[in-house]
Amino acid sequence: MSLLSNAVRLGTAYNVSMNDVKFLQFGLNRLTSIGTSDLKGCSVVMIVSAQAAILAHIAPLPPNYDQSDPEAGDRHCQRKMDEVGALYKANRQCFPTRQSSWVLCAVFRGEVGLPDQQNIMQKSLAGLGLRPSSLIYSIERQRNLLPSQGTVFIDGSKDDPIVYVEDKQVSKDNEWATPSGPSASYSNGATSGIPVSSYSTGATYTTGPSAYMSKTSISYSTWPSASQSGLPAPAGPAATVPADSPYVHDEDIYMFEKQGETYYRFTSDGKKLETMTAEWKQETVKHKGHIERCWAYTGKNSGTKFWRWSMESISTKGKGKGRGKGKGK
């Protein structure tokens, strides 16, 4: 269990959903920590003081974006940073001089996957008078996913908050004594490569190329636009998921661990199925006249494709009741 999951279980953490921007004053309503999970290519912006924190979980693209718009992702990023700025200004009394800020970005094939959005985030924080530091995490697919993978956790239960990325501490012991240094990616205007000041620890973080996950394994909801990646959006009239395939709703699926492996258990048409997380693959479905990306699991015996828009909203608590077929959103 990750630090974030444990704190959520204890009722002491606020779990920020994708594309949400939240402020937490430590200690209010028993909430002493804040975090987010299921990054899968998303970026995270953090502003932290001894009293409070702002955390933004920013997907590379907005929901239901126009695939013909090459600037959709950058505008979405800027809107989220505007929300960050508004929260910071509205709660300025909770962020005195002893504060730090970070921008966490995904690395793909040895380079920051979305350098333009990284610069937007860095410059927006600099515009607030902050000196953000850069962090990176790898989106390499691992056979045995750790519970902490893709998580960010800010523990404000003590006098000095501690910031963790994938349960590795990234804040320094003296973080709250002086502002953090400027990130190299912002100060030199770099738009590619790995920032010099990026934190690196172990196999998950990296300072060099490695076997990064293919773009086909990145969630639909976090897929970079054509202008932000070197790969085109899918084209063609056919979808890989048939139109009558059953849609798996949030209340019908949950995640659990068994013998060190992560599984999904879900119900559909009264049937209970159990799969490993890696058995859900990126596919395409026809939705409102357009071919769009989704996630799907193909039944081993029946060949039926069960699908969802995203795997990021799946809870680790509760069992589904089985609503049957549906079209989702």
Q: What is the pLDDT along the chain (329 residues), one digit of tens a residue?
A: 899 999 999 999 999 999 999 999 999 989 999 999 999 889 999 999 999 999 999 999 998 888 888 889 999 999 999 999 999 999 999 998 778 999 999 987 778 888 999 999 999 999 999 999 999 988 765 555 788 989 999 999 988 899 999 999 998 754 443 333 333 332 223 333 333 233 333 323 332 222 223 322 333 333 333 333 333 333 344 788 898 899 999 889 998 888 878 889 999 888 889 998 888 888 888 877 778 888 899 988 888 999 998 887 788 854 444 444 445 44
**Domain-located, residue 229:** no
| Dihedral, CA of residue 110, residue 185, residue 113 and residue 19, to nearest 10 | 140
User: Which single residue is written with the structure tokens 């070197």?
Assistant: 230
Q: State the Cα–Cα distance between residues 73 and 131, nearest whole angstrom.
A: 24
The residues pairing with 315 across neighbouring beta strands, listed in sequence order, are: 254
**Domain-located, residue 46:** yes
CATH number of the structural domain spanning residue 34? 3.30.1330.200
Phi, psi of 207 (to 5 degrees): -120, 20
Residue 195 and residue 266 in one domain: no
Instruction: Answer whether 0.85 is exceeded by the pTM.
Output: no
Count of structural domains, the chain:
2
Name the DSSP letter for residue 175: T
**Domain-located, residue 270:** yes
Residue 148 and residue 16 in one domain: yes
Measured at the CA of 162, the angle between CA 159 and CA 168, to 5 degrees, comes to 155
Helices 115-127, 72-90: axis angle to 10 degrees equals 20
Q: State the Cα–Cα distance between residues 155 and 124, nearest whole angstrom.
A: 24
**Domain-located, residue 50:** yes
Q: Which residues contact 172 (CB under 8 A, 6 or more apart)?
A: none
Residue 110 and residue 188 in one domain: yes
**Domain-located, residue 227:** no
Q: Which domain holds residue 121?
A: 3-222
Tokens of 142: 């691992």
Closest CA to 46 of 125, 116, 110: 125
